[in-house]
């Protein structure tokens, strides 16, 4: 159980084990973000498990949000945890059926992928910070680039929308850097430049890589190669001034 108090509400992680599901114990990792006006507003919920597929995790999350709506205006986290322990088996069974139907209907079209472009002001503890970003991207199955060009630092990510949201929560709530006195601190100077659905003209990044560029033209070429010329021209030139 980890708790991150902050001005935008509270985020915390809970790990629970659900017994005898599909002949094995399932470890569920739940990340809750409670907005300031919770419980009048629904929490953000993220679900991860090594024993479940990404689609199953998304289904569990959707069912939890459905339950959350029934408890609006009253504290609900405890009830949601009890509910998921009792009903996970049914959700997984249902998920398998729905997934088969969806696959038949969609004829191989994949779920929509999202893209996120972030701007960081600085990294004092650069090596540690870079390692943390690489670890998060890997754990959440996100691809893209961490880009350095002069004093400009950009993070471009592609992946499931829920994973992108979870990345943002981690980036805002974890102590990723150090302040001027060397004390661990959270990222307070991050800007979300763009968060959007990946479209057909955009190329998918296959990996997550850390890259340094010596000139704006090199950085521009990286965006152009990925079919993201518009994204570059809209958000990067103002940073170069």
Q: How do residues 123-159 score in pLDDT, each as one tens digit?
A: 988 999 999 999 999 999 999 999 999 999 999 999 9
Q: Is the pLDDT of residue 223 over 80?
A: yes
10 Å Cβ neighbour count for 222? Answer: 18
Give the residue, 7 or 126, on which the prediction is more confident: 126
Average of pLDDT values for 110-117?
79
Give the residue, 92 or 117, on which the prediction is more confident: 117
pLDDT at 96: 54
10 Å Cβ neighbour count for 220? Answer: 18
59-80: pLDDT as tens digits: 899 999 999 999 999 989 999 9
10 Å Cβ neighbour count for 192? Answer: 11
Where are the domain boundaries for CATH 3.10.110.10 in the chain? Answer: 10-98
pLDDT at 111: 54
10 Å Cβ neighbour count for 25? Answer: 11
Structural tokens at position 227: 């079919």
Question: Could you tell me the strand order of the sheet in which 2-6 lies?
Answer: 2-6, 9-21, 24-34, 44-48
**Calpha distance 159→48 (Å, rounded):** 14
Sign of the dihedral through C-alpha 232, 160, 122, 209: negative
**Calpha distance 237→220 (Å, rounded):** 10
Percent of the chain with pLDDT over 90: 43
pLDDT at 177: 85
Name the architecture of domain 10-98: Roll (3.10)
pLDDT at 152: 94
Q: Is the pLDDT of residue 38 over 90?
A: no
Specify the CATH number of the domain 113-239. Answer: 3.30.70.100
Range in 43-57, 151-165, 219-233 with the lowest mean pLDDT:
43-57
Where are the domain boundaries for CATH 3.30.70.100 in the chain? Answer: 113-239
Q: Is the pLDDT of residue 109 over 50?
A: no
Q: Is the pLDDT of residue 53 over 60?
A: yes
Sign of the dihedral through C-alpha 197, 59, 45, 176: negative
With 0.85 as the threshold, say if the pTM is over it.
Answer: no
The CA radius of gyration of the chain, in Å to the nearest whole number, is: 20
Q: Which DSSP state fits 142?
A: -
pLDDT at 216: 93
**Calpha distance 156→209 (Å, rounded):** 10
Average of pLDDT values for 192-203?
83
pLDDT at 5: 53
pLDDT at 105: 43
Q: How confident is the model at residue 51 (pLDDT cuts 50, 70, 90)?
A: confident
Structural tokens at position 40: 């009048």
Q: How confident is the model at residue 112 (pLDDT cuts 50, 70, 90)?
A: confident
Average of pLDDT values for 16-35?
81
Dihedrals phi, psi of 189, to nearest 5 degrees: -120, 45
């Amino acid at each position: 159980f980890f708790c991150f108090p902050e001005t935008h509400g509270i985020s915390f992680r809970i790990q629970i084990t659900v017994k005898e599901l599909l002949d094995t114990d399932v470890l569920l990792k739940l990340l809750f973000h409670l907005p300031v006006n919770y419980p009048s507003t629904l929490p953000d919920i993220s679900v991860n498990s090594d024993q479940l597929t990404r689609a199953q995790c998304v289904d569990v999350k959707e069912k939890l949000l459905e339950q959350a709506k029934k408890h609006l205006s009253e504290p609900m986290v405890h009830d949601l945890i009890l509910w998921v322990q009792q009903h996970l088996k049914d959700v997984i069974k249902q998920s398998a059926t729905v997934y088969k139907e969806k696959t038949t209907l969609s004829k191989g079209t994949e779920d929509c992928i999202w893209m996120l472009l972030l701007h960081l002001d600085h990294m004092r503890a650069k090596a540690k910070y870079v390692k943390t970003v690489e670890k998060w991207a890997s754990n959440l199955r996100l691809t893209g680039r961490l880009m350095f060009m002069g004093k400009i630092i950009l993070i471009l990510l592609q992946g499931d929308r829920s994973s992108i949201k979870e990345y943002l929560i981690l980036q805002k709530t974890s102590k990723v850097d150090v302040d001027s006195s060397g004390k661990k601190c959270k990222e307070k100077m991050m800007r979300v430049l763009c968060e959007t659905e990946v479209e057909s003209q955009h190329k998918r990044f296959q990996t997550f890589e850390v890259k340094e560029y010596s000139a704006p033209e090199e950085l521009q070429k990286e965006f152009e190669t990925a079919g993201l010329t518009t994204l570059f021209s809209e958000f990067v030139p103002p940073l170069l001034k």
